[in-house]
Structure 1
Amino acid sequence: MLREFKTFIAVARHGTFASAGARIGLTQSAVSAQIHRLEQELGFALFDRTGRSARLNAAGRETLALAEELMALYARIGEHGGATERSGMVRVGSIASAQVSFLIDAMAAFRAELPGCRIRVVPGVSLNLLGQVDAGEIDIAVMIRPPFALPSELEWRTLVMEPFVLLAPAAMAGQAWSDALESAPFIRYDRSSFGGRLVDQFLRQSRLAVQDAIELDELQGIVQLVARGLGVALIPQTAAQGPWPLGVTALPLGDNTFHREIGLVERPRHSRQPVASRLAEYISEAASGCKV
C-alpha cells in the first residue's frame, strides 16, 4: 500500500485529485482509484469531498501524520541499510547552474570525508525541486528562492545572491541599459520559472515596455541567442557563467540592480539524515567561496 499512501499524501497537500496527479505523474482517475483502494483497505473515508476539492476529515488528518512517518521510515531503510552514519545515499536536487559550479566542490569535499556515502544529483527546475523535498523524494535541494512562503516544515538557507545584468550584443556597449532594453528585441527568461518571475516583476515595476521575441528557461541558450545578435536579455550573472562569449556585453543596472537568491531547501533537522546535513554544510561552504 506504499504507493497508495504516497498518493494520499499528495492529495492532502495539493487539495484536488487533479493537482496531486499532475505532481506525481498520474491521471486524475488513477489517483481516484488509488484513494478508493486505500479507503477500502483502511475501512474508513479519508476526505470530505466537495466539488473538485478533497478536504481531509478528522480520520484523514490522523492518518496523514502516520502516513508521512511511514514514508519517511521507508525512504530511510534503503539509505541506511543498517549501516553507520558514514554510509548511505544522499539525494540532492539542483538547478543547472549550481551543478557546474559550487556543487562540484561540495561533492568532492563530501566524498573525501565520507567515501562510503553515495550521492544522487536530481536535476530540475526550482518549483519541482521544492515539491520533491516537500514530498520526501529528495533530501535537500539547491534552487532559486520562491516568490512565496515555503511550507512550514521546510527550512531555507541562502547561499548566493546573483545580480541581474542586461546582456546585449557587443555593438550596444556604452548604451544606457534602459535604452538598449526598450529598443532591441527582448529574449525573455521563462516567466514560469522563479528567475523569470523576478524579471517580469522588475519590468512591471520599472514600467519598461519591451519587444518580446523569444522566451526560454535555459540561461546558456539565452546567452547564445544574444551572442547571435537576436536581442537583449535580463539574466543573472552566475558563478558558473565565467567570461561572457565574444560578441556579448553585460550592461550593469546600477541602482536598479535586482538579484536571484540561490539557497538550500532542507527538511527539519530532526527528520534529516545526518549525511544529508553534512553535504548541506559542504554546499554552504563551497557557495561562500563563489565570486559572482
Structure 2
Amino acid sequence: MIRYLKTFVTAAETASFSAAGARLGLTQSAVSAQIQRLEDDLGVQLFERTGRAVSLSDDGRRLLAQAQGVIADYHAMRGEAGASGQQAALAPIHVGAILTVQLGLLPGAIRRWTALGAMPHLNIVPGMSVQLLAQLDARELDLAVMIRPRIGVPADMKWLPLMHEPYVAIAPKGTRGEVPDWAAALPFVRYNRRSYGGDLVERYLRRHRIWVREGVELDEPEVILRMVRAGLGWSIVPATLIGLPVDAKASSSQAPKAPKAPKVSRARSAIDVQLLPLAGAPLTRELGVLVRQSALKRAAVNTLMKCLANEAGSRA
C-alpha cells in the first residue's frame, strides 16, 4: 500500500495522472488503477476528474498530509540512520545507469574508482532514465547516471551535471542527400518517445516539421546505431557515448575529407554510417548524476560522483 500512497502524493504534486506516471515510470492507466484501488480501500474519492484533468477532492486534501507522514515514517524505518558508521561505509552502493553510460562513461569512472583502493561494492542497475527515477524515489538506488528529468529534480535529490551530448542524424553508409531526403526515402529507427532522450527527438521533428516513415522504435542509442548499420533506416541519436564524431559536418555526404576521430571514439577505427548535422539550434541531452540527499552523507558516494565527473570532463 505504500506504493499506492506514493502514487497518490505524486499525482497530487503534479495534478496529472500522466505526469505522475512519467515520474514514477508507470503508464497513465496504471496510475489510475492504483488511485482507484486506494480510493476503494479508504472509502473516499481522492480526486475530482474532469476529462484528462484531475484535482484533489476535499477528502484528498485532508488525507494528503497523512499520506506524506506515513511515507516519511516508512522511509525512516528503512533508513540508514540505524546502521553503524562502519557498516554504512561498507554497504554496497546501488548505481542506476542508462545503457550508453554503462558502455561509454562508466568503465573509465570505475577504473578511477578502483584505483583509489578498497571501496564498497558497486551494484550497477540498468534501465531507462524514467525507470531509474522511479527506483530512486523508491529508495532502491543511491544514485543514477541518466538524462536530466524533464519534470524537474525532486526536492529530496540533487542533480550533478556531467556533460551535454549533441544529437546527429545517421543513415546507412553511402546514403546521399540531406535529412529531409532521408526522411522521405527511408524508414525511421526511432529513439523511444517515452524516454527522456527520445522525447527530445520527437520535439525536434515536430519543431522542424519533419514527417517520418515509422520503422522500429527502441530504447537505446547503441542498438539504434546497429540497426542503422544493418540498413534498416535512418535515425537521430546522441553521438558522444556511442563513439560518433560530434562534428557531423566532417562526415556528411558532401564532405571530401575523412572525419577526424574525436577523443570519445578512439576505439573505433572508422565511421561506418553516414552522418549529418541537425539544422537549427543545437539539440543536446544533459547527462548527469541524480543522487538522493541521504546518500550524499556517505563519503564513498561523493568519491564516486567525483570519479564520474572527472571521467566526463576527460571526454569534453
Do they superpose with TM above 0.5?
yes
Q: Which runs of 5 or more structure 2 residues have no equivalent in the other structure? A: 244-264
Question: Residue 12 of structure 1 corresponds to which residue in structure 2?
Answer: 9
Question: Residue 250 of structure 2 corresponds to which residue in structure 1?
Answer: none
Instruction: State the 1:10 CA deviation.
Output: 4.0
2:147 is the counterpart of 1:122: no
Instruction: State the 1:93 CA deviation.
Output: 0.8
2:238 is the counterpart of 1:236: yes
Letter in 1 for 2:86: A
Q: Which runs of 5 or more structure 1 residues have no equivalent in the other structure? A: 37-44
Query: 1:40-67, CA deviations, whole angstroms, 9 ceiling, x for partnerless residues?
Result: xxxxx79763467876555651562463
Kindly indicate whether the alpha-carbon contact (under 8 Å) linking 2:9 and 2:67 is maintained by their aligned counterparts in 1. no
Matches for 1:181-196 after TM superposition, within 5 Å? 181-196=183-198
Question: Residue 103 of structure 1 corresponds to which residue in structure 2?
Answer: 106
Percentage identity across paired residues of the two chains = 27
Instruction: State the 1:257 CA deviation.
Output: 3.2
Kindly indicate whether the alpha-carbon contact (under 8 Å) linking 2:99 and 2:126 is maintained by their aligned counterparts in 1. yes
Letter in 2 for 1:277: N
Question: Residue 219 of structure 2 corresponds to which residue in structure 1?
Answer: 217
Give me the whole-angstrom Cα distance separating, in 2, the residues matched to 1:104 and 1:182.
39
Letter in 1 for 2:151: F
Please identify, of 261-270 and 182-191, the stretch whose mean Cα deviation from structure 2 is larger. 261-270
Question: Residue 145 of structure 1 corresponds to which residue in structure 2?
Answer: 148
RMSD of aligned residue pairs (Cα, Å): 3.7
CA distance 1:271–1:106, change in 2 (3 Å): closer
Letter in 2 for 1:273: R
Instruction: State the 1:225 CA deviation.
Output: 2.0
SS in 1 for 2:217: strand
Give me the whole-angstrom Cα distance separating, in 1, the residues matched to 2:242 and 2:272.
19
Give me the whole-angstrom Cα distance separating, in 2, the residues matched to 1:135 and 1:196.
24
2:87 is the counterpart of 1:71: no
Give me the whole-angstrom Cα distance separating, in 1, the residues matched to 2:303 and 2:195.
29
Letter in 1 for 2:171: A
Give me the whole-angstrom Cα distance separating, in 1, the residues matched to 2:115 and 2:195.
34
Query: 1:161-185, CA deviations, whole angstroms, 9 ceiling, x for partnerless residues?
Result: 1111110122225x33343333322
Q: Normalised by the size of structure 2, how large is the TM-score?
A: 0.72
SS in 1 for 2:210: coil
Question: Residue 300 of structure 2 corresponds to which residue in structure 1?
Answer: 275
Aligned length: 276
Letter in 2 for 1:146: P
SS in 1 for 2:307: helix
2:207 is the counterpart of 1:205: yes
Please identify, of 108-117 and 281-290, the stretch whose mean Cα deviation from structure 2 is larger. 108-117
Q: Normalised by the size of structure 1, how large is the TM-score?
A: 0.77
- Aligned with residue 257 of structure 1, among 282, 285, 289: 282
Letter in 2 for 1:64: Q
Letter in 1 for 2:145: V
Kindly indicate whether the alpha-carbon contact (under 8 Å) linking 1:227 and 1:245 is maintained by their aligned counterparts in 2. no
Instruction: State the 1:154 CA deviation.
Output: 2.5
Kindly indicate whether the alpha-carbon contact (under 8 Å) linking 2:4 and 2:35 is maintained by their aligned counterparts in 1. no
Kindly indicate whether the alpha-carbon contact (under 8 Å) linking 1:188 and 1:215 is maintained by their aligned counterparts in 2. yes
CA distance 1:14–1:113, change in 2 (3 Å): farther
Give me the whole-angstrom Cα distance separating, in 1, the residues matched to 2:69 and 2:296.
13
Instruction: State the 1:82 CA deviation.
Output: 4.7
Letter in 1 for 2:202: D
SS in 1 for 2:227: helix
Give me the whole-angstrom Cα distance separating, in 1, the residues matched to 2:81 and 2:10.
24
SS in 2 for 1:117: coil
CA distance 1:61–1:187, change in 2 (3 Å): same
Please identify, of 5-14 and 121-130, the stretch whose mean Cα deviation from structure 2 is larger. 5-14
Matches for 1:80-99 after TM superposition, within 5 Å? 80=83, 82-83=85-86, 86-99=89-102
Kindly indicate whether the alpha-carbon contact (under 8 Å) linking 1:85 and 1:275 is maintained by their aligned counterparts in 2. no
CA distance 1:247–1:71, change in 2 (3 Å): same
Give me the whole-angstrom Cα distance separating, in 1, the residues matched to 2:31 and 2:192.
26
